[in-house]
Amino acid sequence: MAYYISPRFLDKLAIHITKNFLDLPGVRVPLILGIHGRKGEGKSFQCELIYEKMGIEVVHMTAGELESPDAGDPARLIRLRYREAAELIKVRGKMVVLMINDLDAGAGRFDSTTQYTVNTQLVNGTLMNIADNPTNVQLPGSYDSTPLHRVPIIVTGNDFSTLYEPLIRDGRMEKFYWEPNREDKVGIVAGIFEPDGISRSQVEQMVETFPTQAIDFFGAVRARIYDEQIRDFLYKVGFEKVSSRVVNSSDGPPNFPKPDFSLSRLIEFGNLLVQEQKRIQDMGLVREYNQVLRNPNQNQNVNAPAPTQTIPVQQPIAQQPVVNSNTSGNGKNGVSAEVMEQVQQILSRGYRLGIEYVDERRFRTNSWTSCASLSPEEQESALTAVQHCLKDHSSDYIRLVGIEPKAKRRVVETIIHRPNS
């Protein structure tokens, strides 16, 4: 199978690696190349193809190796793998690189709940030290005065803004944002479907049908095509006998005829995958369970005093103070004019209105309970629902929530009543 290598990717990676093996007078070459971009675009796979093309050996590390119950182990492992790569260069007389996949997943900080351990600090410090002194990398408890060969380090990740900023400064890390253009995407997808006899025009049409999907989406579509044949195989052999038939069978591995790889069939399975993605996005259950995601501005100290302003979640309607339901003004059905204005402001923008309450004890843990949920067309019912909630929960905190219907996300949260106010 002839896989496609992006010329831009090849150019960037080959130059960085080669430059680190050259002695350029008066030039300080960054040791680390950080390849970042959105998930599923084939960053690691493109690297592997280029290593194979250039005859480069690789010493691998992953994000899972950057944490340990024993402080110092990950940092020591990085030094050990680096020295191993330097020894391979010396022994085999060829280019070798150290590659760390998904660095941000092991050493990045994503929100207030991400633990920043001693190992995370040591990993950052070790990588910075190696980048500054690439020929003098020692193991803890020993010292070798013999200079090592310089080893380029390639790291991949999705979001390098989560990393320790001094590590990614230009003198230590060169950055390359990988976003395949249309030509790259068509070339890569054509390589995926090359054994199946899919023409380039069909590949182009498929890419245009799913323009926002990452590269791995098309590989998943190809894998899904085989589901029907495997299902038929399971029912033919029997679920009770499939294990003995597939593993260590005297008949050898099962053979499957070539599936139907017509364009209409591929698009059909692609739409099924898109529906599965959309279902996950629409449900958004993590926001119901993860308090930090529901309120990203929440202080880590749950015993801190409650905020006194509207809490914007994504795109706030306005930065307004807490509205007291008992403030003076011309109201309707016992609801103050300020609260009525808040309700109308949320609904007039096409947002769904949520009304929530919580007692004083649960207020500090941000554990709110829904009182009502209304669509933008239910303005009259909304005021009545607010009135009932204020009446039934006068000793609780009450807030209004604006929810964007399509994205299923909260765009504003406004406290309208406090107990004993």
Residue 50 lies in a domain: yes
Query: 201 is written with which tokens?
Result: 């025009």
Query: Could you say which residues of the chain have pLDDT below 50?
Result: 298-322, 324-332
Calpha distance 47→31 (Å, rounded): 16
Which has the closest alpha carbon to 222: 272, 270, 279, 188? 270
Find the radius of gyration of the CA atoms of the chain. 29
User: Can you spell out the DSSP letters for 105-163?
Assistant: HHH---STTS---HHHHHHHHHHHHHHH-TT----TT----SPPPP--EEEEES-GGGS
Calpha distance 289→285 (Å, rounded): 7
User: Residues 32, 170: one domain?
Assistant: yes
Supply the CATH number for residue 255's domain: 1.10.8.1070
User: Residues 77, 151: one domain?
Assistant: yes
User: Residues 329, 375: one domain?
Assistant: yes
Say if residue 105 is exposed, middle or buried (CB neighbours under 10 Å; 0-12, 13-18, 19+): middle
The CA–CA distances, whole Å, from 33 to 16, 157, 403 equal 7, 11, 41
User: Residues 259, 217: one domain?
Assistant: yes
Residue 41 lies in a domain: yes
User: Residues 49, 188: one domain?
Assistant: no
Beta-carbon contacts of 277 under 8 Å, excluding residues fewer than 6 positions away, are none
| CA 252 to mean position of chain CA atoms | 40
**To which H or E segment does residue 175 belong?**
strand 173-177
Note down the domain range covering 67. 7-177
State the total domains in the chain: 3
User: Residues 102, 163: one domain?
Assistant: yes
Residue 2 lies in a domain: no
Residue 59 lies in a domain: yes
Residue 292 lies in a domain: no
- Helices 200-209 and 263-283 sit at what angle, rounded to 10 degrees? 20
User: Residues 137, 258: one domain?
Assistant: no
Calpha distance 188→79 (Å, rounded): 35
Helix (H, G, I), strand (E, B) or coil at 292: helix
Beta-carbon contacts of 239 under 8 Å, excluding residues fewer than 6 positions away, are none
Task: Give the residue from 177, 210, 244 where a domain finishes.
Answer: 177
Calpha distance 160→93 (Å, rounded): 33
User: Residues 60, 169: one domain?
Assistant: yes
User: Can you spell out the DSSP letters for 319-380?
Assistant: --BPPPTT-SS--BTTB-HHHHHHHHHHHHTTPEEEEEEE-HHHHTTT--EEEEEE-TT-HH
Note the pTM of the prediction, 2 decimals: 0.66
- Helices 200-209 and 182-192 sit at what angle, rounded to 10 degrees? 120
Residue 294 lies in a domain: no
Say if CB 6 and CB 187 are below 8 A apart. Answer: yes
User: Residues 231, 338: one domain?
Assistant: no
Residue 254 lies in a domain: yes
User: Residues 108, 169: one domain?
Assistant: yes
